[in-house]
Amino acid sequence: MRVNPKVIFSVVKKYAPSILSGMAVAGVGLTGWLSYRAARKSDPEKTFKEQWKIYIPAGIAGAGTIACIVGSNWIHLNREASLIGAVSFYKAMVKEYEDYEDEMLERFGDAGLKVNNERMPEDPKTISRNLKIRIWEPYTKQWFESSQQEILWAELTANKMLQQKGEVTLNDVLKLYSDKNIKIKKAGDTLGWSYDDEVFTEGSSYYYAGAWIDMCPQFVEVNGEWRFQMEYGMNPNDLSYIDRS
């Protein structure tokens, strides 16, 4: 059986805290056993200075155990800080969306509402962020309806899934929307975002545990017609090449 070092490294990287915690538990037991064995070998009539060498294995095991505990805590705290940062970024983004809403409605209100078959109220500012608009998803080539609030919720949830699983497919994202007319297509199973994808991790402006999937519908002109189209800060890539064996 051929071993792929890249796959092994990816698995170790993803489950590093659990692996180090398990090694620490084993290290505690090993340290105790080695200390007991060294104590039985020691001569009560000799000083520690004369027989310190028999305690070297126990000392090494103890130091390794401490290193595993420190390493596990360090990785866990870094990933937690990354997730907290992601949530903070989400909150800031919500505020930015709220500030941008008036400008967007004033700029594209008439055309945008016509595209989405909505009726324009006298005051554009009365349109709620819960108003659902018709959006074109370019990768699975289908229309779906969603509100600004739902898109933001889907974005945060998708990024939490990315943090936990290390990978999110386009179908995983589409399932987060409430529109029952969304079709889960085969292409969406292989397109997505993964920490094993160098294009995503290197192209993202965030480091490993904090890489972020932006989702924002843009008002674009396609073949002479204006429509809302879902755009992603980092486009989903084909993940079928990734070896998960």
Evaluate whether residue 36 is within a structural domain: yes
Evaluate whether residue 28 is within a structural domain: yes
DSSP assignments along the chain, one per residue: ----HHHHHHHHHHTHHHHHHHHHHHHHHHHHHHHHHHHHHS-TTS-HHHHGGGGHHHHHHHHHHHHHHHHHHHHHHHHHHHHHHHHHHHHHHHHHHHHHHHHHHHHHHHHHHHHTT-PPPSSGGG--TT-EEEEEETTTTEEEEEEHHHHHHHHHHHHHHHHHHSEEEHHHHHTTS--TT----THHHHEEEETT-HHHHHHSSS-GGG----EEEEEEEETTEEEEEEEESS--EE-TTS---
Residues 15 and 124 in one domain: no
How many CB atoms lie under 10 A from the CB of residue 137?
A: 21
Residues 56 and 150 in one domain: no
Evaluate whether residue 140 is within a structural domain: yes
**pLDDT of amino acid 209:** 44
Q: Per-residue pLDDT tens for 91-143?
A: 665 665 565 555 555 655 554 444 444 433 444 344 455 678 889 999 999 99
Radius of gyration of the chain (CA): 27
Evaluate whether residue 29 is within a structural domain: yes
| Domain end among 75, 102, 126 | 75
Residues 154 and 59 in one domain: no
CA distance 174 to 96: 24
**pLDDT of amino acid 124:** 39
Half-sphere exposure of 122 (CA within 13 A, CB side): 0
Evaluate whether residue 223 is within a structural domain: yes
Q: Are 31 and 66 in contact (CB under 8 A)?
A: no
Q: How many domains are contained in the chain? A: 2
Evaluate whether residue 80 is within a structural domain: no
Residues 61 and 102 in one domain: no
**pLDDT of amino acid 207:** 42
Structure tokens at 66: 């401490």
CA distance 63 to 57: 10
Residues 65 and 100 in one domain: no
Evaluate whether residue 68 is within a structural domain: yes
**pLDDT of amino acid 96:** 59
Beta partners for residue 144, in sequence order: 135
Q: What is the pLDDT along the chain (245 residues), one digit of tens a residue?
A: 555 566 666 667 777 778 888 888 898 998 889 888 888 888 878 887 888 888 898 889 889 999 888 888 887 777 776 666 556 656 665 665 565 555 555 655 554 444 444 433 444 344 455 678 889 999 999 999 998 888 888 988 998 888 888 899 999 999 999 999 999 999 899 999 988 877 777 655 444 445 678 888 888 877 777 888 999 988 899 888 776 65
Residues 141 and 60 in one domain: no
Domain span holding position 174: 88-238
| Domain end among 20, 50, 75 | 75
**pLDDT of amino acid 113:** 42
**pLDDT of amino acid 125:** 40
